[in-house]
Structure 1
Amino acid sequence: MRNHTPCHILRRRRLMLKGFVAAPLGLRFATARAAGGKAPERELSFRHTHTDERLEIVYHDGRGYLPPALQRIDRLLRDFRTGEVQAMDPQLFDILHALRITLGGGTFEIISAYRSPATNDMLRKTGGGGVAKRSLHMDGRAIDVRLPGVPTTSLRDAAIGLGLGGVGYYPESDFVHIDTGAVRAWGPRTA
């Protein structure tokens, strides 16, 4: 008899999503192409909390990333203090897409994405801690988000469960940091 406890189902879902997010590495696309089909499109929806700009966009058509869509996302995720735009790591979007599917969420609220070195330095000096000197935000490999309707603790747990990069939890500011760096987690584990 199969175990269908909520924990067992969650473990199976996480394993499936790890495979989904690893799709850019080729396995899923190779299988879909061999079968004569294509992988599903990947879509994200954003609202930037500082500029109130919104974007709902398909960034991957099932065969590959869509450069015009990536450019529009990069523009939205710019350093809102300086206006500087940086090419963001598309794998970051794959992680967000997997989280959106896992959690049944809709629009990600963006707190911070790309940060210029000058902005990062200013935040380190005035922000009261929590800003790394060599932040992945400066490389376009990190984003701070929340997902309305989903507790940030659930977003944190789902991101950690994917095991695909760094996950930081900031309950006092109600957001989760996600990056494409080494797998690690920080912040309170209970809240």
Structure 2
Amino acid sequence: MNKKNSSGITRRGLLGAFAATAVSAAPTFANAAGFLRGAGDIRRIAMYSGRTGERLDTIYWIEGEYIAEAVREINIHMRDWRTGEAVQMDLRTIDIMAAAANLMEVNEPYMLLSGYRSPQTNSMLRNQSSAVARNSLHMLGQAADLRLQGRTTGQMASAAVACRAGGVGRYSGSNFVHMDCGPIRTWRG
């Protein structure tokens, strides 16, 4: 016999939900590049582009499944705004961004400075700055440069590093953090 508490939830129902979550999450984390603490059973990403004025706030993953339409919207939002070219963004980078936002407990959207970069855009930026890598992960759709109004670059970088899932570059002078799903490493720009 299940006794209901004042909220109408049974103890057996609650335990069943916890067990189902643990079973469904196990394969996801076992196959992940790193343990994305804080990503959760529902993953949401919110960002805006100061360049295009576009905003995105979407749930893109629910209980182990990516939502195709939401992923398409993310790909378009993170396109090379100079050329209009979009690619399939590596979802590991989006997961890192979502997990870092959850760890920082922020409700504000990221300001996206750079997501995907075409080889032409990367070359142009490289000619302007020695901080732009020749073989940038941006060209593979595996990196994002981000800013938050309510958090410092130190706080953002610390949250991304805590995910233990990719590269984190802290650019305090330009007030942004680079997050990628490449090898685990950190640097300051």
Per-residue deviation at 1:28?
7.9
> CA-to-partner distance for each residue in 1:53-89, whole Å, 9 max, x for gaps?
1011010121310111101010000000000001101
Indicate the larger mover: 49-58 or 71-80. Answer: 49-58
Per-residue deviation at 1:25?
4.9
1:156 aligns with 2:157: yes
> Which residue matches 1:117?
119
**Aligned AA for 1:130?**
A
**Aligned AA for 1:117?**
P
Per-residue deviation at 1:49?
1.9
Mapped to 2, the partners of 1:95 and 1:143 lie a distance apart of 10
Percentage of matched positions with identical amino acids: 38
> Which residue matches 1:20?
none
Describe the shift of the 1:183–1:27 C-alpha distance in structure 2 as closer, same or farther (beyond 3 A): closer
Larger radius of gyration: 2
Q: Structure 1 runs of 4+ off > 3 angstroms?
A: none
Mapped to 1, the partners of 2:175 and 2:84 lie a distance apart of 25
Per-residue deviation at 1:148?
2.1
Mapped to 1, the partners of 2:167 and 2:27 lie a distance apart of 19
Per-residue deviation at 1:27?
4.4
Mapped to 1, the partners of 2:124 and 2:101 lie a distance apart of 32
Describe the shift of the 1:89–1:159 C-alpha distance in structure 2 as closer, same or farther (beyond 3 A): same
> CA-to-partner distance for each residue in 1:67-115, whole Å, 9 max, x for gaps?
1110101000000000000110111111111111110112111010000
Tell me if the contact between 1:103 and 1:155 (Cα under 8 Å) persists in the aligned partners: yes
Where in structure 1 are there 5+ consecutive unaligned residues? Answer: 1-22, 30-38
> Which residue matches 2:106?
105
**Aligned AA for 1:116?**
S
> Which residue matches 1:143?
144
Describe the shift of the 1:145–1:27 C-alpha distance in structure 2 as closer, same or farther (beyond 3 A): closer
> Which residue matches 1:175?
176
> Which residue matches 1:26?
28
User: What SS class does the counterpart of residue 173 from structure 2 fall into?
Assistant: coil
**Aligned AA for 2:147?**
R
User: What SS class does the counterpart of residue 118 from structure 1 fall into?
Assistant: helix
Where in structure 2 are there 5+ consecutive unaligned residues? Answer: 1-24, 32-39
User: What SS class does the counterpart of residue 172 from structure 1 fall into?
Assistant: helix
**Aligned length in residues:** 156
Q: TM-score, normalised by structure 2?
A: 0.78
Tell me if the contact between 1:105 and 1:148 (Cα under 8 Å) persists in the aligned partners: no
Tell me if the contact between 2:76 and 2:86 (Cα under 8 Å) persists in the aligned partners: yes
Per-residue deviation at 1:24?
8.4
Mapped to 2, the partners of 1:184 and 1:98 lie a distance apart of 17
Describe the shift of the 1:119–1:160 C-alpha distance in structure 2 as closer, same or farther (beyond 3 A): same
Mapped to 1, the partners of 2:59 and 2:74 lie a distance apart of 10
Q: TM-score, normalised by structure 1?
A: 0.77
> CA-to-partner distance for each residue in 1:138-168, whole Å, 9 max, x for gaps?
0000000012211111101121222210000
**Aligned AA for 1:123?**
L
